[in-house]
Structure 1
Amino acid sequence: MLPFVDALVAPYCLELVGDGAPAPAEKLRPLIDVREAVSRASQDIRLSFCATSSQEAKRITDGVTNLLLAKGSKLDEAIWSTMEETSARLVASTDMEDDEDITWLSTRWATVHQIAEQAVQCRGYMPKIDNVSPLTSLIMETVACLEKMLSQKSARSSFPDQSLGFLFLINNSYFIWQQLYPITSVLESHMLALARKIDNYIETYLQLSWAPAEFHKTYTAQKLWKVPDPKLRRRLRVAVIEKVIPSFTKYLEYNNISPSRITPHDLMDMLQELFEG
């Protein structure tokens, strides 16, 4: 196991970049798995020799335990550096890792949490957010930067339609919310704030797109706009239907018009085709 630890940590000590370096998420999995294996081995050795009073056995146990602690420290350093690299890359690219990585990481929360606590004590990491754990602070700092950059990108980008800019914010903010869902328990207040922000984006999008505009013009322009997530796509369709259909029905009733070319039911069927891309 010990030579394997050295071989695993070596690439991070050399700071490989470019084509020779794996992506941060690919680094974290083996590092954390081996770190947990080293920790279990250390515990097993202590338990195996705890009943032995032999001085020789104690000497061997202490030697192996100290060696495992040293290897564990190397792994901790590599893990923390990789987590900081992941955070920096996410902010630089505004592109989250695959949600499977976040789900997997949430199952190793105890290990990563311990490493983050050690980072405060031994590596000089200063959490920017008070009253939360160092790991939670790092995640919240990263997410806050992502949200800010998405907002700036939406404002700076020359979207052909302002509504498309808000759909961009809805898609990406919802994607961030999905990534954080496996660790909702430690980010509850932030998750609620992000959910409210998504609600506000959706309401603004509805007002811009479907309240003042002519239906056919808006429908034709937005039919091929894409919402990748099925749940979010259904949610937006329902929101548009609830915005459009009652207004259309009231318009027909107020003007005493009998629908000839298109009925409210036909309209609903059309709106079910939105956001497929």
Structure 2
Amino acid sequence: SCLTCLSVSAASHMFTPVVISPEAQRIFNEMGGPLEREGNRLWEIILSTMKEVRTLMEEDDSWAIEISRGGGEVHNNTRFIMDCIVCMKNARTSMKSSALSDNTENLGVLIDGTIDYLKSLLFTKSESCSDQILRYLFLLNNSYFVANVVSESSFIDELWDLELELTPECKKYMDSYIDVSWGHVVSCIPKSGFPGPIQRWINTSSVAKFESAFHKTYQTQKLWKVPDPRLRDALRRAITERVISGYRDYLVVHLLLEKHVVRESSRPEVLEGMLGELFEG
């Protein structure tokens, strides 16, 4: 039938290969060569530039000074390297949709390698900081910044905004910071009990030691900075959970609030309010 003939004709037309004239093929070949050379040249420039960046970062002797001066904030070198990574990510995206796609895999490897390099560099340079508390705050701020920029440049910032979920690396640095900075404050509260007058003396002495250690630590870190508001809130909550919760439980168990052993300025809710002022810079 006519319908069958049309169907066969249409089907045969669908599978007819496109014939490119020799002249057109020659033009495509002539275009492809320069484009490939330009792509290779661009890749060599990027690779050479990143090698120079690494050399500059490693030879920079201002890390320790800047870590201390910045109160553990995100270092300018961290921002610079992450700017380079974002540029490489943008270049890789452009290459994927162009004739320069041969080097996209190489660029992806370079991006991942640069991120790993930066993390290692931050840890190494942080060792030059004599203050271990400030060192871990620096590592927390900078590691979080790296993870945040990577997520945003990967177009998954909407997921990032839903709930703050720290990377294992950031969680490790946060725990280390709390251990070295607030651990001695928590240790002022005894865990074992003693009978009679000895216990009352220990209670009074422990509260006084806790108050002193808390206020000293607070004053030392009052002007340090955690620039990201979500990380800042998470860190405050973690300190409150570790420090204030144990302090409050101790006071309740030993009825110290009712006995007015604790001064008004050192009540748990007052100290918790003070923690809410930390890391503003």
| TM bracket (short chain) | 0.5 to 0.7
Cα shift readout 1:178-207 (whole Å, capped 9, x = no counterpart): 23323499xxxxxxxx92222122112212
Pairing 1:82–2:82 present: no
Give, as a single letter, the amino acid of the residue that structure 2 aligns with 1:241. Answer: T
CA RMSD in angstroms, aligned pairs only: 3.6
Cα shift readout 1:217-271 (whole Å, capped 9, x = no counterpart): 1111111111122222111111111112212211221331225513322222111
Whether the 8 Å contact between 1:112 and 1:135 is mirrored in structure 2 is: no
Pairing 1:231–2:198 present: no
Partner of 1:204: 176
Q: TM-score, normalised by structure 1?
A: 0.59
Partner of 1:250: 249
Pairing 1:143–2:115 present: yes
Matched-pair identity in %: 35
Whether the 8 Å contact between 1:166 and 1:205 is mirrored in structure 2 is: yes
Distance 1:92 1:115 in 2: 34
Taking a change above 3 Å as real, the CA distance of residues 64 and 273 of structure 1, as seen in their structure-2 partners, is same
Distance 1:90 1:112 in 2: 28
Give the count of matched residue pairs: 204
Partner of 2:275: 271
Partner of 2:264: 261
Gaps of 5+ in 2: 1-17, 61-76, 157-165, 186-212
Taking a change above 3 Å as real, the CA distance of residues 168 and 61 of structure 1, as seen in their structure-2 partners, is closer
Gaps of 5+ in 1: 1-49, 120-132, 186-193
Taking a change above 3 Å as real, the CA distance of residues 90 and 141 of structure 1, as seen in their structure-2 partners, is farther
Aligned pairs (5 A) from 1:116-155? 118=103, 134-155=106-127
Whether the 8 Å contact between 2:39 and 2:103 is mirrored in structure 1 is: no
SS in 1 for 2:80: coil
Taking a change above 3 Å as real, the CA distance of residues 232 and 92 of structure 1, as seen in their structure-2 partners, is farther
SS in 2 for 1:256: coil
Give, as a single letter, the amino acid of the residue that structure 2 aligns with 1:77. Answer: E
CA shift, 1:147, in A, is 2.9
Partner of 1:166: 136
Cα shift readout 1:5-42 (whole Å, capped 9, x = no counterpart): xxxxxxxxxxxxxxxxxxxxxxxxxxxxxxxxxxxxxx
Distance 1:225 1:97 in 2: 22
